[in-house]
Chains A and B, each alone.
Chain A
Amino acid sequence: GAVVSQHPSRVICKSGTSVKIECRSLDFQATTMFWYRQFPKQSLMLMATSNEGSKATYEQGVEKDKFLINHASLTLSTLTVTSAHPEDSSFYICSARANSANEKLFFGSGTQLSVL
C-alpha cells in the first residue's frame, strides 16, 4: 500500500524557536496534502490543505503566518511552526492523496511537538 513518511516523530523545542515537519509520499505522487492537529483525547482537526505548486488553504482560526506550509514537489510537503509557544504543543499529522479522483487518504505517523 501507499506509504507516507513523516519526520521527525517527536520534537522538543524552546519557546520562540521554529520547527519544521516534513511529510513525504514515498511511492506515489501526492497532488494534495492535508495537515491535521490533534490535542490529547481529541479528534483530528484539519489545519490546512496544500496543493503542489500553489498556496495552502488554511482553516478558520489557523494563522497562516505561524504555520507555514510549503508543497514544492509532488512528494514533499513541509509544515513550519514559527515562533513556537507552549500552546502549540500538539500532535501534528499529515496525510496525502494521489489525485482528486482517489478519495483514499494515507497518513503519516505523526509528529509530537512539545514546546517548553
Chain B
Amino acid sequence: GESVGLHLPTLSVQEGDNSIINCAYSNSASDYFIWYKQESGKGPQFIIDIRSNMDKRQGQRVTVLLNKTVKHLSLQIAATQPGDSAVYFCAENGGSQGNLIFGKGTKLSVKP
C-alpha cells in the first residue's frame, strides 16, 4: 500500500508485482520529463525520459506515462524486484536556469 510519511511517500509492494509511482509536475511549460532512481547515499540514476509530444514510452521493465492535461507523470515497473527498492524522483525541465525541477520523491520498498 501507499502511505505518506513526514516528507517522503512510501510504496510497499510484493516482489513480482507491478509498481506504479505517481508524480505531479509544476510547470505547464515543461516539455521534457525524466524519472530517476536514487539509492541511499548515491546520486540520482537515470531510468527513462519522455518528451511532451508523447503520452507513453517504454523501456526495459519500465513505462512512463504522461498526462499533460492534469500535469501528471507515472512510472510503471513490471515484475518489481528487491533491487528496485530505492527512492524514485520525477523531474521536469522547467527550471529558469535550464535546470531540472525535482518532485518530492517516492520510496519504493519491495518485500521478498
Contacts and interface: CB of A to CB of B under 8 A. Distances in A.
Interface of A: 6, 32, 34, 36, 41-46, 49, 57, 91, 93, 95, 97, 100, 103-110, 112
Contacts of B98: 32, 49, 97, 100, 103
B44 A93 contact: yes
Contacts of B100: 34, 95, 105
What is the interface of chain B mostly: helix, strand, loop, or mixed?
loop
28 contacts: A6-B43, A32-B98, A34-B97, A34-B99, A34-B100, A36-B102, A41-B7, A42-B8, A42-B105, A43-B102, A43-B104, A44-B44, A46-B95, A46-B97, A46-B99, A49-B97, A49-B99, A91-B41, A95-B100, A104-B49, A105-B100, A106-B46, A107-B44, A107-B45, A109-B43, A110-B41, A110-B43, A112-B41
B43 A107 contact: yes
A71 to B, nearest CB: 13
Interface in B70-112: 89, 93, 95, 97-105
B42 interface: yes
A58 to B, nearest CB: 10
B59 interface: no
A28 to B, nearest CB: 15
A36 B41 CA distance: 14
Interface residues of B, number: 26
What is the interface of chain A mostly: helix, strand, loop, or mixed?
strand
B50 to A, nearest CB: 12
Nearest to A9: B41
Interface string B6-29: 111000000000000000000000
B5 interface: yes
A57 B44 contact: no
A57 B97 contact: yes
| A32, A44, A103: most-surrounded residue (chain B CB, <10 A) | A44
A41 to B, nearest CB: 4
B31 to A, nearest CB: 9
A93 B8 contact: no
Contacts of A93: 43-44
